Amino acid sequence: MSGLGEKFRAAVEAGDIGAAVDLCAEDVTFLSPVVHKPYRGKAPLGAILHAVFSVFENFRYVAEYGGDDGHVLRFTASVRDAEGRDLALEGVDIVHGTETEITELTVLVRPYSAATALRARMAALLTG
């Protein structure tokens, strides 16, 4: 599994969302840090990742942890709130899957103020 997590990291760091999504199963499950209901499928995941790339600023992975059952990528970034303030955040991408494809991607972020700003910005992008 760690090889797939490393490939996902490389694709994200290169800004190649298509390559990141291509690593996923057709019925991949995405668990959002701000929405209770899971998203399923490559198309919703691709839309979400594209939106995230336009919302996050100064995104970078700062650590990774891997094992046979998954891969965790720790990141830092900032997000602008409704008042125009840049809020620092940190989070993790938790990647689960098989040797050949990602079957589940969970994202967790903190602190609450940044997660709330992220939710508002993402909702505006994804709902048009």
Q: Where are the domains of the chain?
A: 2-126
Q: How confident is the model at residue 128 (pLDDT cuts 50, 70, 90)?
A: low
Structure tokens at 83: 């008042």
93 strand-pairing partners? 73, 107
Q: What's the whole-number average pLDDT of the chain?
A: 93
Asked whether the predicted pLDDT for residue 68 surpasses 90, the reply is no
Asked whether the predicted pLDDT for residue 1 surpasses 60, the reply is no
Instruction: Please give the pLDDT value at position 124.
Output: 81
Q: What is the CATH number of domain 2-126?
A: 3.10.450.50
Q: Using alpha carbons, list the distances in angstroms from residue 106 to 43, 88, 90, 103.
A: 16, 20, 14, 10
The rounded percent of the chain whose pLDDT value lies above 90 is: 77
Summarize pLDDT for 41-67 with one digit per residue, the tens.
999 999 999 999 999 999 999 999 998
Amino acid (one-letter) located at 42: K
Mean pLDDT of 69-83: 94
Structure tokens at 84: 């125009």
